[in-house]
Amino acid sequence: MNLSLTILGTASAMPVSDRNPSAQVLAVHGRLFLIDCAEGTQQKFRQAKLSFLKVRAILISHIHGDHVFGLFGMLNTMAMLGRTEPLDIFGPASLEGLLNFYRNWFSDGDDYTIGFHPLKGRDAEKIYEDKNISISAFPLNHKIECYGYRFGDSYAYCSDTAAFPEESSYVARVHTLYHEGTYNRELADKAASRYHSTTVDAANCARDAGVKRLILGHYSKRIHDFDSYIAEAREIFPESYAAQDGDVLEIPYLSGR
């Protein structure tokens, strides 16, 4: 059994005409896990022909707008489609206020419940497990509380973060690592000041973690030359690739239990 990853958005905070901000869907044996939920996510969902009613859980990295501005629309559309199955949402404790606002103003008459699970660990912790997948969350190094996610030994998601010593251990030996690469080497000063990663930071993490494949995304609007951008990463980690909106990637199923 392979997992299927659909990239719904690869842009960072500044809107651009040809990219959506951060959102991904990992399909695991017919169940969908939505990772971040930027503005426009539900439109991308429809374009990818994904089912709103098969979303088992939503995992939010942090509450910057380019990762959560699409959440209310997704929740409301699920209700209008007649969802009855409970929905689990994982994210930093600060997300609870946003969800309470949604509940108070927009969820009257919804036929499904939202179970919020605040993340609070200073180390990796298992947050979800069923017969097919085990998911862990781990802290990242951003301006505000931010988390990455690991799905067994198959896949790990790191956005947004500056480099930090423990990161490679959190994603060690996963097959596919998605890592933000907001900036290229030339803009390393901006990456450091804004707690983001460069192509070099992401490639170093992939190499040190011993992963099989690195997928880069969360691009600054300044990034236009993707040939030179990805070449920087491949100097350090040859199996590096630049994600594009709409990409669908197959990932080997590795339970990691």
Please count the CA atoms within 13 angstroms of the CA of 75 that sit on its side-chain side. 30
Contact 208, 168 (CB under 8 A): yes
The answer for residues whose C-beta is within 8 angstroms of residue 32's C-beta and 6 or more apart is 25, 26, 50, 51, 54, 55, 56
Q: Between the CA of residue 97 and those of 30, 55, 92, 116, 156, what are the distances in Å? A: 31, 22, 11, 11, 27
Query: Are the CB atoms for 152 and 257 separated by under 8 Å?
Result: yes
HSE toward the beta carbon, residue 31, CA cutoff 13 A: 13
Please tell me which residue in 18, 36, 66, 208 is annotated as part of the active site.
66
The token pair that represents 135 in the structure block: 């998911």
Active site residue 66: yes
Catalytic residue ranges? 66
